[in-house]
Amino acid sequence: MKAAILFTGTGPILILSSYESLDNPVFITKLESKNIKKFIMYEVPIDSCKAKYGNYYELVAQDLAETNDMRVLDYIGSHIFLNFSFAEMGDPVIKHEK
């Protein structure tokens, strides 16, 4: 499982994904189908999400199917920024709109 912060036109969202890679073309297509066509995405540690979101993390992760899928863990930008430092973020995945 992967966790990532997506910086989109409407602000940051924190997602969980069962895809093996955040740059997986099928995953990118799934984001596009949700009208997320232009973004900068940073992986964040799963253990950090577990510690910061506790039972809510467990609930969302449980709902995440074992097949390739994704779920939103947090959509409140100010909350995400309070919970994660830039130092925790991995290398960016950048998607330009076509």
Half-sphere exposure at residue 54, Cβ-oriented, CA atoms within 13 angstroms = 1
Do residues 37 and 30 make contact, with C-beta atoms less than 8 angstroms apart?
no
Confidence of residue 68 (pLDDT cuts 50, 70, 90): confident
Structure tokens at 30: 């799934």
| CA atoms of 60 and 26, how far apart (whole Å) | 21
Confidence of residue 66 (pLDDT cuts 50, 70, 90): low
Cβ within 8 Å of residue 5, ≥6 positions away: 12, 13, 14, 15, 41, 42, 44, 80, 84, 89
The pLDDT assigned to 39 comes to 94
